[in-house]
Amino acid sequence: MELTDLTAVQLLDGYRTGEFSPVEVTAAALERAARIQPEVNAFVRLLADEALEQARESAGRWRRGEPAGLVDGVPVTVKDILLLRGHPTLRGSRTVAADGAWAEDAPSVARLREQGAVFIGKTTTPEFGWKGVTDSPLTGVTRNPHDPARTAGGSSGGSAAAVALGAGPLSLGTDGGGSVRIPAAFCGIFGLKPTYGRVPLYPPSAFGTLSHVGPMTRDAADAALLLDVIGRPDARDWSALPAPSGSFVAALGGGVRGLRVAYSPSLGGQVAVRPAVAAAVRRAVAGLAELGAYVEETDPDLADPVDAFHTLWFSGAARVVQHLPPGRRALLDPGLREICEAGARFGALDYLAAVDVRMDLGRRLGRFHETYDLLVTPTLPITAFEAGEEVPRSSGHRRWTGWTPFTYPFNLTQQPAATVPVGTDEAGLPIGLQLTAARHRDALVLRAAHTLYAAGLTRGGS
């Protein structure tokens, strides 16, 4: 296998044995990133000189037998929503000025830096991460690694494409309505939205407590490793959770035998799922049953909360651009301008009514998970569609939430949710299965996902 095909766990094994060095691996990741960029457009910027210097320092530590931490020498990419010290974070917008000190790391970036990670680049995002595909007036369209005519999904589409194509095995994404899980599913990789607060976020998102930071990786074992690094409290985030009681990597074993799994193919008939997607997910669910899980086809008490989500999401978007004068607003993505105008029309009572819907949804899902350990659904009802579009052509959907009914509800409830690649459609486009658990049960989601990988039940295309 090429170095760019290896997981972070495999890279670390190679560093320990001296089979290869962080310098070789970083050079290979940078070469791959530069090669894919013209066609896929996954990167805002590459940091070749800086990354190679970090890799040389890491190589020295490994030679001395003194690695700095859990991911010393592993190439990492960072979505251009999160601060990376010394480099502009433009958030996909022509309204953000690139000048300034940019002297601070986001909490998740800071934890990675402390543990010896090598930062090879910032990845693309739609403007302020507002939609479920990745294109912006600043950076253009990010394309799917399996078919460049299709979208990579979003809003962490650059990260998903980079991981899928070997430009670093680890990436940091953000997820306010599915923005880790959507592109991970479309690109055939693993993505986890942890319990809210498990990974601290600073500066705080204008989308408030909908927005999570999560791992985007080749598999669940790499995601557990990354969460062990970034899932630590940071004083800058007042809502950050305490440190976990143990290691997520250590909790991967144990399988799924005896787990109570609720399988909801279409949320009680509310979602029209494409036959290829439904069949792939059903096959993987059958595999969970063969591995000893108690699987029941049943649905959570979940009426579509899209109106409440829109109230919260559109209000957040309006807050993001509130400071911009009219001339600057003309630079925004037209779709973003539309939802900002809608969000500005909501009043405080509208917002609080949406919070009431959110709290009731959380209560109902909390009760559901008293009976079931895991909820399994498709991640998305479709596979990747035309690049450069917010919604599939001729779908009749107005906004991206029309085709993401399995993802955004779990941002409202703040539960951990992961997507696992479980097959491809007739065009070779990846299909994702979503695993969701009660709040704070991130280790269970990772364990179940890891079991699917270990049993050979995952496949994301090539």
Alpha-carbon distance of 162 to 143, in angstroms, equals 11
Measuring CA to CA, how many Å separate 148 from each of 38, 151, 170?
11, 7, 22
- Would you call 159 a catalytic residue per the annotation? no
The CA-CA-CA angle for residues 379, 155, 141, to 5°, reads 115
DSSP-assigned letters across all residues of 343-372: HHT--HHHHHHHHHHHHHHHHHHHHHHHH-
Alpha-carbon distance of 10 to 16, in angstroms, equals 10
First to last CA, the chain: 14
**DSSP assigned state of 425:** -
Query: In this structure, what are the phi and psi dihedrals at residue 228, rounded to the nearest 5 degrees?
Result: -60, -30
- Would you call 155 a catalytic residue per the annotation? yes
The three-state secondary structure class of 383 is coil
- Would you call 122 a catalytic residue per the annotation? no
Catalytic residue among 179, 211, 264, 315: 179
Residue indicated by tokens 């949406």 = 354
- CA 129 to chain CA centroid, Å, is 12
141 CB contacts (<8 Å, ≥6 apart)? 41, 134, 135, 151, 387, 388
Catalytic residue among 58, 108, 136, 155: 155
Catalytic residue among 79, 122, 131, 193: 79
Q: Read off the tokens for 11.
A: 């890279």
Query: In this structure, what are the phi and psi dihedrals at residue 434, rounded to the nearest 5 degrees?
Result: -105, 130
**Residues with catalytic roles:** 79, 155, 179
